[in-house]
Amino acid sequence: MGKRAQPLLAAALLCLAGLAVAEQEQDWRSRGSSEDKLAQVMRTLPSAAHIMNEMGQRYQNLYWAGKLGQWEFAAYQGEEIVKLVELLQISSPKRAATAQVFLDHAMGEFDAAYEKKDWDTFLHAFRSMRAQCLACHEKNDHGFIIPPEHPVSAPSVILNLPR
Ligand code: HEC
């Protein structure tokens, strides 16, 4: 590099460093008060719509895991469904009571299906769970959201189904 270029480069670097500092000053994660930080973090809590988008996928995965006789994977999907409803209870307190009804009544029948490794028992359990999904949608003014009785496919790569 020629001697004349050196001051130019130094100036450019200083300029970049200045920009980085300015950016950091605006960054609530490093500069905000604890109150501001908490308020911002609260705004990032997942909404019911976010949670339910994943719920729809796990619903499909659960159905197809059962259909393909992948019982452990089915049980795992069921556990994740429960965790999603528990998360919703925390992030959307106004839905907590209706979510509790789901937790108390939706998943009880699956254990028998996994023990017997039996599709008919599983389908019965799946239908009971679905009825609780529908009931909760109804109670939360979203009765028009109706997950299919027989999902045609499922998104998990583990199940390797055509989409
Ligand atoms: C606590 C009540 C509650 C339970 C339990 C519940 N849902 Fe939901 N669900 C909602 C609400 C509320 C919405 C609408 C979300 C919004 O826009 O605020 C929703 C929306 C959805 C959506 C649409 C998501 C989208 O944006 O495309 C799907 C799919 C869904 N639910 C599936 C299910 C399935 C499957 C179950 C059962 C395994 C279930 N839900 C259980 C309350 C519930």
pLDDT tens digits, residue range 121-157?
Answer: 999 999 999 999 999 999 999 999 999 999 999 999 9
- Is 159 inside any structural domain? no
Pocket flag, ligand 1, residue 62 (CB < 6 Å):
no
Long-range contacts of 77-80 (CB under 8 A, 24+ apart): 78/107, 78/110
Is the shortest distance between the CB of 105 and ligand 1 below 6 Å?
Answer: no
Residue 63 has a CB neighbour count (10 Å cut-off) of 26
- Total structural domains in the chain? 2
Q: Looking at ligand 1, which residue's alpha carbon is closest to its atom 36?
A: 133
Domain check: are 108 and 28 in the same one?
A: no
Q: How far is CA 66 from CA 7, 120, 137, in A?
A: 69, 10, 24
Stated pTM of the model? 0.88
CA 118 to chain centre: 28
The alpha carbon of 46 and the centre of ligand 1 are apart by a number of angstroms equal to 13
Distances (CA, A) of 72 to 62, 109, 112: 10, 15, 13
Ligand 1 in reach of 98 Cβ (< 6 A):
yes
34 and 92 in a common domain: no
Q: What is the CA radius of gyration of the chain?
A: 25
Residue 142 near ligand 1, beta carbon < 6 Å: yes
Query: CA angle 95-63-47, nearest 5°?
Result: 25
**147 domain-assigned:** no
- Out of 45, 47, 55, mutate this one to test ligand 1's pocket (max ligand atoms within 8 Å of CB): namely 55
Judge if the beta carbon of residue 58 lies within 6 A of ligand 1.
no
Shared domain for 55 and 135, answered yes or no, is yes
DSSP 37-58: HHHHHHHTSPPHHHHHHHHHHH
Residue 104: CATH number of its domain: 1.20.120.290
**Residue 131 falls within a domain, yes or no?**
yes
Q: How confident is the model at residue 17 (pLDDT cuts 50, 70, 90)?
A: low
Find the 119 Cα to ligand 1 centroid distance in Å.
Answer: 25
Residue range(s) defining the domain that contains residue 81: 48-139
Is 135 domain-assigned?
A: yes
Q: Does residue 10 sit in the same domain as residue 61?
A: no
CA 23 to chain CA mean position, Å: 31
Whether residues 35 and 56 fall in one domain: no
pLDDT digits 0-9 by tens, 56-90: 999 999 999 999 999 999 999 999 999 999 999 99
Determine, yes or no, domain membership for 148.
no
Determine which of 53-57, 66-70, 159-163 has the lowest per-residue pLDDT on average.
159-163
CB atoms within 10 A of CB 125: 23
Residue 135 and residue 56 share a domain: yes
